[in-house]
Amino acid sequence: MNYQEWLMANSNAIQLTAFYGLFLFLGLLEVWVPLSRLLPDRKRRWTSNLGLTLLAVLVSRALPLSGYGTAIWASSAGVGLLNHVSMPSLIVLITAMVGRSLSSWLLHISMHKVQFLWRLHRIHHLDQIMDVTTTVRFHPVEIVMSIVTGILTVALLGLPLWALLIYDPFESAVRIFSHANIRLPEKVDRVLRLLISTPAMHRLHHSIFQKETDSNYGTIFSFWDRLFRTYTSPVGKGLARMPLGLEVKNNSRVQSFWWLLENPFLGVGEGKRRMK
């Protein structure tokens, strides 16, 4: 059995270990070495955040298409760039990493710049305390858009299934890591953010100030923000005391599961960012 066959045979175990294993590990680190010591309302926040996750899983399972299914179809139908050229496995993997991460970056910046998309995405930014559960706090409509974006990228590039089985756990791991409320030594964070989005870098993206929110869009890699000049350094920003989230008329609602579901369809003013 070669490594591609091994990946396909163990894909579920890899996905579950990458997501839930790191989720639990970083959740424990948040207790031991927290960046911010603000006490989260775990009962309400976690119920709403994890409730949105469960709904997103149900919605995604109900969709007739997936990235993996698209990869299998593209391979058999000869659709996509990589199905028409012969490349070494390493180049194929790099192409998958670059292509999928760029499509995620483009979707993310669109979520901030297009008004209706922002009204969907602001569910993620309405969380006024940031921890590992913020990773999975998304409106189900945004989840569907993310899945569709991934499907189109897979079809366009002809990404093989084995490459996605490497990329997806890596993406999940970096997403959880970047949202974690953990304190890293500045030297470590500085080295890591040369390549990936770190807790310090992404925490700045969740700032209540619009100039900072409109930066550091990288879901996984930091180099897209550097390349497109949307990078903001977290150095000297007072991250532990930084106000996070959005301004709403009644803060108690930001942890209400049902209010979060209907929020995109409420008034534009329900979730403002401050201007510095």
| pTM for the model | 0.90
What does the pLDDT look like over 50-60, one tens digit per residue?
999 899 889 88
Q: What is the pLDDT of residue 46?
A: 87
pLDDT above 60 for 269: no
Q: Is 1 domain-assigned?
A: no
Q: What is the pLDDT of residue 247?
A: 82
Q: Is 6 domain-assigned?
A: no
What DSSP element (H or E) covers 146?
helix 140-157
Q: Is 3 domain-assigned?
A: no
Asked if residue 193 lies in contact with residue 226, where contact means CB atoms within 8 angstroms, the answer is no
Tokens encoding 82 = 């990589």
Q: What is the pLDDT of residue 276?
A: 58
Q: Is 33 domain-assigned?
A: no
CB atoms within 10 A of CB 167: 20
215: confidence class by pLDDT, cuts 50, 70, 90:
very high
Mean of the pLDDT values across residues 226-238?
94
Q: Is 276 domain-assigned?
A: no
Q: Is 203 domain-assigned?
A: yes
Class of residue 261 by CB neighbours under 10 A (exposed 0-12, middle 13-18, buried 19+): middle
CB atoms within 10 A of CB 144: 16
- CA–CA distance, 181 with 135 (Å, rounded to integer): 11
The total domain count for the chain is 1
What does the pLDDT look like over 100-141, one tens digit per residue?
999 999 999 999 999 999 999 999 999 989 999 999 999 999
Q: Where are the beta strands (DSSP E) in 42-118?
A: none
What does the pLDDT look like over 156-211, one tens digit per residue?
999 999 999 999 999 999 999 999 999 999 999 999 999 999 999 999 999 999 99
Tell me the three state secondary structure of residue 272: strand
**Structural domain boundaries enclosing 239:** 42-265
Q: Which of 5-19, 84-98, 115-129, 219-233 has the lowest mean pLDDT?
A: 5-19
Tokens encoding 141 = 């409509």
pLDDT above 60 for 1: no
